[in-house]
A and B are shown apart, each in its own frame.
Chain A
Amino acid sequence: MSDIGVSLFLASRSIRRGNRGTFVLTVMIIALVFVNLVFLPSIISGVVEIFNRQSIDYTYGNLVIEPKENDLYIDDVAALKRKIDRIPGVAGSSPHIQIGATFTYRGKAIPGTVVAFTPQYEKEVTALHTAVTSGDFLSDGDRDQIVLGVLLAGEEDESKDRIESLGGVKVGDSVLVTFTNGETRDMRVKGIIETMAVQADRQAYVTTGEMEDVLGISDQANQILVRTVEEGNEEEMKVALMSFGVQETIKTYEEKAQGFVTDAIQSFDIINAISTLVSLVIAVVVVFIVIFISTVGKRKQIGILKAIGIDERIIINSYVIQVAVIASLGTAVGLVFTALLTLYLTANPLIFPGGAVSPVLEAGQISRSIAGLFAVSLVSGYIPAWKTAQEPILDAVRG
């Protein structure tokens, strides 16, 4: 039998005939540490995913084309849109005109943003039209009609509002809109949309025709949202657009959403790093104590093995193998726990400001957690075994 075979033999007997309770307890602790290592990152991934989803679906599409530096508007928008739509990989595009405005309702004035688009085009890119909770979405020829985000419309009971609102605007009500260029319009509320994306829910929406009338411009836009056929290849599509002659600034939804999301993710990452560290320290301490107690209890036995003529390395390895078995079972049980928790939270998602968040398990995170747990377990199993095996034989055998 090879040396490692002897180590395996000793380890298997020790596990089979050693203390069940300690074994199960250690496995459970490793399992819980594993859950802890995987769970928080999976929630963060869930938040990031929902954020990206909403950025794409309600705010930016996949790509946003903006005026060249020093320009206020993109000119010849109709032609540019036609050009973009012909590029392979583009599913659709929607020119936007955005401008600041003050909304007045029942004597209450709230500053905000009005976004203008052609509804028919908008449906190619965003899912705003699917988020109407009352009334209707805009139609192409609409004039003096406005769609409000639910946070802007607000609740009659202001205590239910999460941010300052108009205090419960209903479909059919009139809202006075004062644009930043001084123009004023009395507009009928056609619909209310609720997307759960904070930015989309705080804006108001009108048709391009309406906005051109207000601003006295035509065939201009200050954003063109682009929907790509595939997701995840935004960077390549950006290059594709440039190579097809789009000279304006192109940003991916991630670049647009930066600031806010990156800050949030950075904070999450710090929390996560602390939690990971604490989990691993717990794993180290527990495995160390368990193996330490186990090897100290087996001091005499280790002395006997050495006296018989068994190499220290074989003895130490038998403990390392035991720890590896514990770590394997622990991570396996931990995976089961994580799967159950994920199933539960997918059925009952956590509600975040951005929407309902389900944990997203990432293979990378899971393998990193497994690797981390194994590494700390093996080290914290090795050290006490090594230390005990260093003792002079006679001291150990005397007990």
Chain B
Amino acid sequence: MIVARDLARTYMLGAVPVRALRGVSFTIEGGEFVGIMGASGSGKSTLLHAMGLLDVPTAGTIEIDGTDVLALSGREKTRFRLNRLGYVFQDYALIPELTVEENVVLPCLVRGVPREECLGLSREVLRDVGLEGRMDHRPAELSGGEQQRVAIARALVNRPAILFADEPCANLDSATSTTILDLFARLNEEFGQTIVMVTHEDWHIRYFCRVIYLRDGLVEREEPCRTKKRRRASPDRETAVDDDRLPGDV
């Protein structure tokens, strides 16, 4: 569970303050698949960075599963990210020198888990994202969608309490986007994975159980959880949601 209270973030551009967040409060329950939406510049990324412990808000508090994360030291934050959070960057952010498998296995190795166990876990998540056949490839040899799935596998390998994704489909065509959103939906439904995802595509809304709309650094409104039934009922979603294939098997 994430509890954010009065989050503010002011950037200083020279002497000019840019108020990216101006007092944002909300609660995200465990097991939710939440979308964060809003116009460009409304503060979506800034908010996700703050929750992902990649940036420090100017004011406010964030509590994740009972921990006041802003009170942690730098090293404790690093540990917290490693053990509890998964973060998917918009531009994949893979390590070019590592193979797909090495990219995914790395966060697990860092936790001190034995190598064999990590290899097993990474093979599992790579299968989940449909890339078990590409384990020995380098990121440069993969398509954008495949790279994004590697990034997701890497974010998932440590079984994070929360998965953050900042516009994970921004660089992808709609077919690939669908594959990735299907994967998220499946993780959320099957494993109860908490997911917080930033997007500006309206058609993604049908995947979320709740949407937080930002506007000029404030929460404009929240749309309540949609039921699974309602999502399934939406006619143009039939193929994507009822599809039982693994997301990678396109």
Q: Which residues of A line the B interface, CB within 8 A?
A: 1-3, 5-6, 9, 13-14, 17-18, 300-301, 304-312, 314, 392-394, 397
> Given A18-B97, A301-B96, A304-B95, A394–B54 Cβ distance below 8 Å?
yes
Contact: B102 with A13, CB < 8 Å? Answer: yes
Q: Return the chain B residue nearest A2 by Cβ.
A: B112
Residue of B nearest to A399 (CB): B91
Given A308-B154, A394-B55, also A5-B82 (CB < 8 A): no
Min Cβ gap B131→A in Å is 18
- A97: min CB distance to chain B, Å: 79
Q: How many residues of B contact A (CB 8 A)?
A: 32
Decide if A304 touches B93 in the complex (CB within 8 Å).
yes
Contact residues of B with A, CB < 8 Å?
49, 52, 54-55, 75, 78-83, 85, 87, 89, 93-98, 102, 106-107, 109-110, 112-115, 118, 138, 154
Cα distance A13–B109 when bound, in Å?
A: 14
Question: Which 8 pairs from chain A and chain B are nearest by CB?
Answer: A309-B82, A309-B81, A1-B109, A17-B97, A304-B93, A393-B54, A13-B97, A308-B107
A341 to B89, CA, bound (A): 54
Q: List 15 A-B contacts (CB under 8 A).
A: A1-B115, A13-B97, A13-B98, A14-B97, A17-B98, A18-B97, A300-B93, A304-B93, A305-B95, A307-B81, A308-B154, A309-B78, A310-B106, A311-B110, A394-B55
User: Who on chain B is nearest to A5 by CB?
Assistant: B109
B92 shortest CB reach to chain A, Å: 9
Residue of A at shortest CB range from B118?
A1
The CA-CA distance from A238 to B89 in the complex, in Å, is 80
Tell me the nearest residue of chain A to B83, going by C-beta.
A309
Q: Do most interface residues of chain A lie in helix, strand or loop, or is the interface mixed?
A: helix
Nearest CB in chain B to that of A9: its residue = B109
Contact yes or no, A397 B93, CB < 8 A: yes
**B6–chain A nearest beta-carbon distance, Å:** 22
Do B114 and A307 touch across chains, with their CB atoms under 8 A apart?
A: no
| Distance to closest chain A CB from B124 (angstroms) | 18
- In the complex, what residues of B have CB within 8 A of residue A301's CB? 95-97
Partner of B81, one of A17, A308, A314: A308
Chain B residues with Cβ under 8 A from A5's Cβ? 109
Query: A312 to chain B: which residues have CB within 8 Å?
Result: 78
Known: A1-B115, A304-B95, A394-B49. A6 touches B154 (CB 8 A): no
CB neighbours (8 Å) of A314 from chain B are 110
Residues of A within 8 A of B83 (CB): 309
Q: Which of A1, A6, A9, A393 has the most CB of B within 10 A?
A: A1
Question: A306 near B78 (CB under 8 angstroms)?
Answer: yes
Cα-based distance from A397 to B166 in the complex (angstroms)? 13
User: How far apart are the CA atoms of A13 and B139 in the complex, in Å?
Assistant: 14
- Give A13 to B101 CA distance when docked, in angstroms: 13
How far, in whole Å, are A385 and B120 apart by their CA atoms in the complex? 32
Identity of the chain A residue whose Cβ is nearest the Cβ of B115 in the assembled complex: A1
**Nearest CB to that of B157 among chain A residues?**
A308
Cβ–Cβ < 8 Å partners of A18 in chain B: 97
Docked pose: A14 CA to B112 CA in angstroms: 21
In contact, B112 and A1 (Cβ under 8 angstroms):
yes
A379 to B113, CA, bound (A): 31
Contact of A397 among B79, B89, B102, B106 (CB under 8 A): B89
Most buried by A among B49, B83, B97, B114: B97
**With A301-B97, A309-B85 given, can you name 5 additional A-B contacts, CB distance below 8 Å?**
A18-B97, A305-B95, A309-B82, A310-B110, A397-B89
In the bound complex, do residue B107 and residue A309 qualify as a contact, i.e. CB atoms below 8 Å apart?
Answer: yes
Choose one: B55, B78, B80; the contact of A310 (CB below 8 Å): B78
B113 in contact with A307 (CB, 8 Å): no
| Bound: A6/B108 CA distance, A | 10
Query: Which of chain A's residues has its CB closest to B95's CB?
Result: A301
- Identify the closest chain B residue to A303 (Cβ): B93
Chain B residues, CB < 8 A from A304 = 89, 93-95
| Chain B residues within an 8 Å CB radius of A309 | 78-83, 85, 107, 110
Separation in Å of the A325 CB from the closest CB of chain B?
15
Q: Which residues of B contact A306 (CB under 8 A)?
A: 78
Chain B residue at minimal CB-CB distance from A18: B97
> B109 contacts A6, CB within 8 Å?
yes
